[in-house]
Amino acid sequence: MDSPFWVYLIGLAGMGVYGLRILIQWYMSEKSHRVESPGIYWILSSAGAILLYIYGWLRKDFSILFGESIGYYIYMWNISILGLYKKVPKILIVLQALFPVVIIGLIVKDFPQFNAQFLENSQIPPWLLLYGVLGQFVYEIRSLYQLIYSVKRQESILPLGHWILAVIGSAMIISYGLIRHDWVLAIGQFSIVFSIRNLMISIANQKED
């Protein structure tokens, strides 16, 4: 589906924020020789998710909305466990928490139109939509894995399994983007390089431990 250039700019901005988060995280991990989970990583994750929510809505791409919905509140949990909400006005936290609810409200308000534009989109064959959703699921389920792993330890950690799922999911999203001619999705997953590096660091850490 062809979209106005400004729509792609929103998607590119979202991917840029996502790319910046892992670039910073990777740099900190290289310095410490251990996989780090800095607060800025989760703050940028939250900002990137909002931008990609908007991009997915404008592109009528259900797979993007689905994927961002999995990790959104997990980003907020990590920000909270790191104590970064203490100096943030509560109204901003409430607005952040309500953003996905607004999206759901728009869907419920006119579900037949949502179904026609997102789920029965002639520009996205059913098999491709399913593949896109699967790719997003594999990529974003890493956040659920990270949450479970971190909750048990009551600290924000980016474990080995997180990076394995990130690499597999990124590869699927890249192929989905190429098939759909969505260059934003394809290029935006350049972070797979840093995910592979984090995977290597995690494996090295486990061997040391």
Range of the domain at 34: 5-208
Q: What percent of the chain has pLDDT over 70?
A: 99
Q: Give the chain's mean pLDDT.
A: 92
- Rounded Cα distance between 185 and 55, Å, is 10
* Number of compact structural domains in the chain: 1
Q: Are 159 and 92 in contact (CB under 8 A)?
A: no
| Placement of tokens 């690499």 in the chain | 167
Query: What was the pLDDT predicted at 119?
Result: 87
Q: Quote the crossing angle between the two packed helices 5-32 and 39-58, to the nearest 10°.
A: 160
Q: Report which of 3, 4, 1, 38 is spatially closest to residue 21, judged by C-alpha positions.
A: 38
Per-residue pLDDT band at 123 (split at 50, 70, 90) = confident
Residues 165, 172: Cα–Cα separation, whole Å: 11
- Region 34-45: mean pLDDT is 96
Q: How confident is the model at residue 207 (pLDDT cuts 50, 70, 90)?
A: confident
Res 184 pLDDT > 70: yes
What's the pTM value of the predicted model, to 2 decimals? Answer: 0.90
